[in-house]
Structure formats: structure tokens, C-alpha cells
Structure 1
Amino acid sequence: MTEYRIAVLPGDGIGPEITEVATRVLRHVTTRHGGVALHLTAHDAGAGRWQREGVALTDETYDGCVRADAILMGAIGLPEARHPDGREVNGDVIFRLRFDLDLYAGIRPVRAWPGLASPLAAAPPVDYVVVRENVEGLYASRTGGCNVREEVATDTIVITATGTRKVTEQAFRLAAKRGGRPRDGRSMVTCVDKANVLSSYAFFRRVFDQVAAGHPGVASDHVYVDAMTAYQVQQPDMFDVVVAENMFGDIISDLAAATVGGLGLAASADVGDRHGLFQPAHGSAPTIAGKGVANPVATVLSAAMMLDWLADRHGDPAAAEAAGVIEGAVGDVLAAARVLTPDLGGAAGTDEVGEAIIAAADRRL
């Protein structure tokens, strides 16, 4: 039996509720499976702690994340918890972990789940992954911008050959493991940029093309970001793996989630060569916190991604099997369409969905 140490950051708003469900599913499935043991350690980090103590992520918690085999996060941030310059304090946690642990690839899968109505009129098959460069781009300027007398404000985009190469290699490795795009099964990585206007994105594209040349078994393509938003709605089946600069990746991944039912289904992973952080792509939704109606599916799927990443990193088939059980159980619950939270058109509560996923997992174990 393989043992893993998991740092758990429940966070703010609905974060503790959805994290509790995800950890309950993890414990149940790994215990029943018997091949994986998880040691989960919860840490207090986020806007609530910042409001109480003036710090969102202590060095002690950061060190716990560094020592862990993986990090599972709920949702961080509250709209009223802001620094004097207007930035939300959630960045004190999320960006510190991303930048300091070099979690350079934000991996955000998007798929249309059977049983859920598509908001797209044509309802084409959707199954692709957005790979977002996570530590450069426009967000690298988040604390280094310039504001002159509240008259002029600037931020600078940062794109390096090394950073672009690393995230592009991640995208091609991912494409090589997938089954190709829904349209024709062709494996393809699409570079999303604005190379026709900005030299920084033209540079991003040139580095992408250099990496693509080293992967002849996977096709490559380019799409301008404005056209990308149209294709995501009209022809999403043309995509397999998509790679983009930080801000563009952030925007198109949220649009991707909206096309298949919303952010309540949007899992994500922030990974590097040594560390991995797994969290739902949505925010802390404080307006529904404590009401028991938050959708835990994105967090549960993020937990499955965590197991899959651990399996790949450590050559652990047991972890991969447990990940498959969880993902399959989520699919079973969504396909049945009987136990759904209000955001998906149902009336079930957070805990009820969690119990339905556990019951579905039991049928698969």
C-alpha cells in the first residue's frame, strides 16, 4: 500500500463544505480500494484568517504544503478582504503557492457529461483540456505594476522562452495520452494567442512551434483568442488540448466550463515538476455559504485529478484505479440526473450529492 501526505486548505465561503465532501469521498474510496492510504492534514489559510490575524498564508502552512505529496484546496477569498490597492487577498495564498512552488501548468479539463443539458444550442461533443501557463504572462506583474498619482496605471506582460517551452511540453505530453479531439479522434495541441497584434504573443507562438516540431505524432494548430471564444461556443469538438498564456488561459477555461454546465463542474490542477495543487476552478461563493446547496462536484473531480497525478508521478496503478472510480462515480450520478444541486437544475444539497457519489463508487469497487 502506498501512502501519501495531503495538505488540505478548505479556505473560505463554501470552501469548507465542498472540501469536506471531497475528503469524505477520498477517504471512503481509498479505504475500500485498499491500495492507497491518504494522510490528510487540514490547514487554516485564506481571507478569513487574513481578517482575523492579518496573514492569509503563514510560513508554517506554506512549509506544510511544501512537505506534502500534494495539496487539495477548497476555495480561497472573500470579496471584502482586499489589500489597500484593491487586490483580493486570495492571491496571497494562490499566487504564492503557484509562483513559489513553480506550478507552471494550470490544467483545466472540460467535458460534456451525459445526463446534463448543454447550454449550447447544437450540443456538439465537448472533451478538451485547457493548459494555462500559470506563473508568467500578465499575472506576473500583479505586485509590480505602476500607478502614478491615480492617473496612470500599467502592468507588464512577462513571457519567457523557458516558461513557454515548459507549459507547451506539458500540453503535448497530455495530448499524447488522450484519445484525440471529439471531431475525428485526431491528437492536437492548439496554441491560443494574439500573435497578430502583440509581439509578446508572437514570441509565445514561435516557442510553441519549436516545441511542436519535436512532437511529430501530435498535430498542432493556432487560434487567435478572440476567434477562440467563438469556436468554444460553435465548434468545441475541434479541440483536444489547448495551451495559452496566463490571462487568456484563465478566461477561456471559465468560458469552457460555462459551455458544459458551469463552474460547479470545473476541476483544475496547478502542477509543476515536483508539486501539485488541486482545486475547483470556481470561487468561494460567500452568498450561499452555510446553506448546504453548493455543488461539490468540481472539488471531488479535482481530488480525482490529484490521485491521477500522484499515480503518474509515482508509477502507482492503485492511485490511478481509485481516481477512475471517483471520476466514474461522478459520471454515474450526473447521468442519472436525480441528485443534482440547484446550479444544475436540481434540488439536492451538498452532502446529498456527496453521499450519492460514495454510493455510486461502492457499486464500482
Structure 2
Amino acid sequence: MNSYDIAVLAGDGIGPEVVEATLAVLRKVDARHSLGLGFTELRAGAFAYRDTGTDLSDEVFDRARKADAILLGAMGWPGIRHADGTELAPQITLRQRLDLFGGVRPIRAIPGVPLPLVDPRAAKIDFVILRESTEGLFFSKDKGVVTRDQAEETLRMTRGTSLRLARMAFDLAGQRARRLGRSGRVTLVDKANVFRAFAWLRQIFQEVAVDYPEVRHDAAYVDAMALDLIRRPWDFDLLPTENMFGDILSDLAAGLIGGMGFAPSADLGEGHAVFQPSHGTAPDIAGKGKANPTATILSAAMMLEWLAMRDAGDAMAEAAQEIRAAVDAAFSEGLRTADIGGTSGTAEATRAVLSALR
């Protein structure tokens, strides 16, 4: 039996709580399907920085880099910061050092979860934000210049990474079209009416679109997209965008489906991948057993799918689908976590998903 090494970085705040819940789900599908999953727990994050002076040691990074996949909880803590006032973000360091350029943020309405939009079409929300995760304005992380009278950060995009992002967008749109039985559509989100860099990015996507005639292609300005994600989110499919725009729109989009506790993510490169919930460490509820583990559990399902695509076998994909179906069933049958006005905590939510894995 093959063995797949999963590096587990639980992190800070609610990170360890939601990761523990997710490992329970993974161990159940592992036992059922004989997936051969092995978990190596590693320490990184703000509290690691407080205790050791580094938030992501070379030893931890090297061990994670050698793993088949990385499962991450959440990292950072408001009271633990760099001397310049910025928060610790080893998850961003992982993206940059492992060249994880494709941040996949699925936004899907889960049956039974109350939605803020009253339009009945909201129940059919199912689109993906594809956030470029290594360049854009985040290129300037730790490089900004600050003087008494001026602060300056630099946005940078490269042709190579932009081409890879475009191809990933069209490939994902094609895959979704086949799975959902509908035509694929890529809508580039930019600010090409003001910035030359985004006009240039549009040209790259237009070049790549020629190779995908079966996928529709258009573009929208980021401010207009922020409006339309509230007005008609059910009209969109695959939304690639620059790093900072993707960071902001991902949070807005999560609000459409119940909040950050329902928003999984994957940061993909050509040889490595990190899977984590889109939410942060939630210091206000950390250690209280109230955290919603759904986003992390769904991120783990994405991890199994990614492993399946890398020749780990159909059982991985089947297990991923079973996890998603179990989450849907749990909420359809009445599970209500605290973040959507219910009383179920982390443990009860985990039990409900495990019970639905029948």
C-alpha cells in the first residue's frame, strides 16, 4: 500500500482545534478506503515565533517541503508582531518559497446553511476565486520603503506566473464545466482601466483564451465585481485575479455562503500544495470549543482530490466526495454552528460530519 505523508501545521488560535477535527475525518475515510495517509505534526506560527524567535524554521520548512501535501490550520496572533508592526504570516512565506502561485478559493452554498441573500438563486452559488498567491501587491511584503514623509509598496506581476495562472484558470473552468454539466466561463478581475499592469494582464489572458475555445472568456473591473458578487453571484464561474484583489474578494465571497467558517482553500504550485481554511486564528473564540471546522474539513477534501490528480488513485477522489457529501448532509439535517447562530461547537460539528460519513 502506498503511503502519503501529510505535513500538518496546526498553527495558532483556533488552528489546532479545527485541524484536530479534520484529522478525525481524514482518519475515518483513510480507514475505509485504505488511503495510506500518514500525518507529521510540525510547529510554526506566531507562538512558535514567541518561543523560538522564528515563525517557520528551516527545519520545519524542509520537512514540510518533502511531504506529499501540507495541511495548515491558521497562523498569526494580534499581540505577537514583527518590530515594524506587521503580523507574522508564515503561510505567505510558504506560498512564496514553494512557488504556490494558484490560490483556489471555492465558494459554494452548502444545503441547510442560512444565506444572507434572500434571492432563491443564492442556493445555487458555486464559483471559484483563483487568487494569484506569490506576486501582485504581496510581492512587496517585507520590501516596502517607509520614511517620515512617504510610504511606498510595489506591485509586480511576471509574464511566466501570469501565463501559469491563466492556464490554471481555463483548465479549472473546463474541469468544472464537465463536472457540473454546463459551459465554462473565465472572468478576469482587474483594474485595467487605471493601471498598465492590469491592461497587460488582460492581454496575457486573451492570448491563452485562444487555446480554450470551449471556455467563455471576459473581464471585469474589481470594483464592479465587488458589486456584482452581491447582486448576482450565481452568474459567475471562475474568477482569476491579482493577489490583493483575491485576498479581499475571497472574504466578501465567503460572506455570501455563511462566513469564513465555510470557505476552504488550496494554494497550488507545480510540485507542492498547501490546504487551509480561508479564515484566521479567531482570538476571540480560541480555546473555547466554538470554532467551525467546516472550512478546514473541506480543505482536506480538496487535498485528497489534488492527490488523486497526482496519481494517488480513484479512492482519494471518492473519499473527497464522501467528505463533501457528509458536510452537506450534516447541515441539511440541522447542524448549526455558532457562527451561523447555532449552538453546536467544534466537537459536535465534527461528530455530525463523522456520523454522516455512512
Class of the TM-score when normalised by the shorter of the 2 chains:
over 0.9
- Judged with a 3 Å threshold, the aligned counterparts in structure 2 of structure 1 residues 181 and 126 are, in CA distance, closer, same or farther, namely farther
Q: In structure 2, what is the Cα distance between the partners aligned to 1:180 and 1:81?
A: 46
Aligned with 1:286: secondary structure? coil
Contact map agreement 1:8 1:72 (CA 8 A) in 2: yes
**1:285-324 equivalent positions in 2, closer than 5 A:** 285-314=282-311, 316-324=313-321
Q: Which amino acid aligns with 2:20?
A: E
How big is the shift at 1:123? Answer: 3.9
Q: In structure 1, what is the Cα distance between the partners aligned to 2:197 and 2:29?
A: 46
Identity of aligned residues (%): 47
**1:311-350 equivalent positions in 2, closer than 5 A:** 311-314=308-311, 316-337=313-334, 339-350=335-346
Q: Which amino acid aligns with 1:194?
A: K
Q: In structure 2, what is the Cα distance between the partners aligned to 1:175 and 1:283?
A: 28
Q: In structure 2, what is the Cα distance between the partners aligned to 1:100 and 1:251?
A: 22
Deviations 1:184-208 (A, max 9, x none): 9321011000000111111111111
Contact map agreement 1:13 1:289 (CA 8 A) in 2: yes
Q: In structure 1, what is the Cα distance between the partners aligned to 2:179 and 2:224?
A: 18
Does structure 1 residue 115 correspond to structure 2 residue 112?
Answer: yes
Q: In structure 1, what is the Cα distance between the partners aligned to 2:233 and 2:157?
A: 27
How big is the shift at 1:180? Answer: 7.5
Deviations 1:255-293 (A, max 9, x none): 111011000000000010000000000000011011101
Deviations 1:197-235 (A, max 9, x none): 111111111111111111111110111000001111111
Q: Which amino acid aligns with 1:357?
A: V
Alignment match, 1:210 = 207
What is the number of equivalent residue pairs in this alignment? 356
**1:226-245 equivalent positions in 2, closer than 5 A:** 226-245=223-242
Q: In structure 2, what is the Cα distance between the partners aligned to 1:230 and 1:294?
A: 29
How big is the shift at 1:355? Answer: 1.1
How big is the shift at 1:32? Answer: 1.6
Alignment match, 1:147 = 146
Q: In structure 1, what is the Cα distance between the partners aligned to 2:210 and 2:86?
A: 40
Aligned with 1:343: secondary structure? helix
Q: In structure 2, what is the Cα distance between the partners aligned to 1:206 and 1:145?
A: 28
Q: In structure 2, what is the Cα distance between the partners aligned to 1:84 and 1:265?
A: 33
Uncovered stretches (5+) of structure 2, i.e. residues with no partner: none
Uncovered stretches (5+) of structure 1, i.e. residues with no partner: none
How big is the shift at 1:58? Answer: 0.8
Contact map agreement 1:181 1:240 (CA 8 A) in 2: no
Does structure 1 residue 12 correspond to structure 2 residue 12?
Answer: yes
How big is the shift at 1:146? Answer: 0.8
Contact map agreement 1:78 1:88 (CA 8 A) in 2: yes
Which portions of structure 1, spanning 4 or more consecutive aligned residues, are displaced by more than 4 angstroms? none
Q: Which amino acid aligns with 1:347?
A: T
Alignment match, 2:99 = 102
Q: In structure 2, what is the Cα distance between the partners aligned to 1:194 and 1:100?
A: 27
Q: Which amino acid aligns with 2:341?
A: G
Contact map agreement 1:110 1:260 (CA 8 A) in 2: yes
Contact map agreement 1:181 1:239 (CA 8 A) in 2: no
Which moves more between the two structures, 322-331 or 308-317? 308-317
- Judged with a 3 Å threshold, the aligned counterparts in structure 2 of structure 1 residues 157 and 199 are, in CA distance, closer, same or farther, namely same
How big is the shift at 1:315? Answer: 5.0
Contact map agreement 1:77 1:88 (CA 8 A) in 2: yes
- Judged with a 3 Å threshold, the aligned counterparts in structure 2 of structure 1 residues 293 and 27 are, in CA distance, closer, same or farther, namely same
Alignment match, 1:201 = 198
Alignment match, 2:44 = 45
Aligned with 2:28: secondary structure? helix
Does structure 1 residue 246 correspond to structure 2 residue 243?
Answer: yes
Q: In structure 1, what is the Cα distance between the partners aligned to 2:178 and 2:264?
A: 20
Q: In structure 2, what is the Cα distance between the partners aligned to 1:3 and 1:99?
A: 27
Contact map agreement 1:74 1:279 (CA 8 A) in 2: yes
How big is the shift at 1:96? Answer: 1.6
Q: In structure 1, what is the Cα distance between the partners aligned to 2:249 and 2:2?
A: 37
Q: In structure 2, what is the Cα distance between the partners aligned to 1:358 and 1:349?
A: 14
**1:132-211 equivalent positions in 2, closer than 5 A:** 132-149=131-148, 151-179=149-177, 185-211=182-208
Contact map agreement 1:180 1:240 (CA 8 A) in 2: no
Deviations 1:157-187 (A, max 9, x none): 00111111111111111111113799x9321
TM-score (norm 1): 0.95
How big is the shift at 1:61? Answer: 0.5
Deviations 1:228-264 (A, max 9, x none): 0111111111111110000011111111110110000
Alignment match, 2:61 = 62
Aligned with 2:284: secondary structure? helix
Q: In structure 2, what is the Cα distance between the partners aligned to 1:85 and 1:21?
A: 35
Aligned with 2:252: secondary structure? helix
Aligned with 1:287: secondary structure? coil
